[in-house]
Amino acid sequence: MGSSSAISEQETCRTFVMPRLNAAGWDKRQIREQYRITNGKIIASVRRYRPGNPLVADYVLEYRDDVPLAVVEARRTKIDAAASIEQAKRYAQRLELSVAYATNGHEIWEIETGGAIRRRPISHPGRTGGAVL
């Protein structure tokens, strides 16, 4: 592997995002990777139908099984984390969640689906002041 600016989104998740989620107190059972939000639209063409691409969040953080709290959308380390803000917000809105996070493994943006966007760590609900990333 070369410099961190050359690593893939998968490597960013494995090398930076997951260890920081774990260090902040998120148990692996509370972290759902590649969380399918929708199955994708059915696309009709002449005499056939085909499925469109599903919407899949990089991570959904859960309080307990099937009780999602937040979406985490990751980008490669060389891409500005702010580039995934709208996608993270859209995914959180689809899941009716009030919080989403956008990260590139180095910087983190917290997005409140009602409006506010700010740089900050992702906290675990069971820890006061705990940082995730």
pLDDT tens figures, 20-34: 899 889 999 999 999
Q: In sequence order, which residues have a C-beta less than 8 Å from that of residue 94 and are 6 or more positions away?
A: 37, 38, 55
Confidence of residue 130 (pLDDT cuts 50, 70, 90): very low
pTM for the model: 0.80
Question: Hey, is 39 helix, strand or coil?
Answer: coil
More confident residue, 50 or 80: 80
Q: Where are the domains of the chain?
A: 7-119
**CATH class of the domain whose range is 7-119:** alpha beta
- Cβ within 8 Å of residue 70, ≥6 positions away: 60, 61, 92, 97, 99, 100, 101, 122
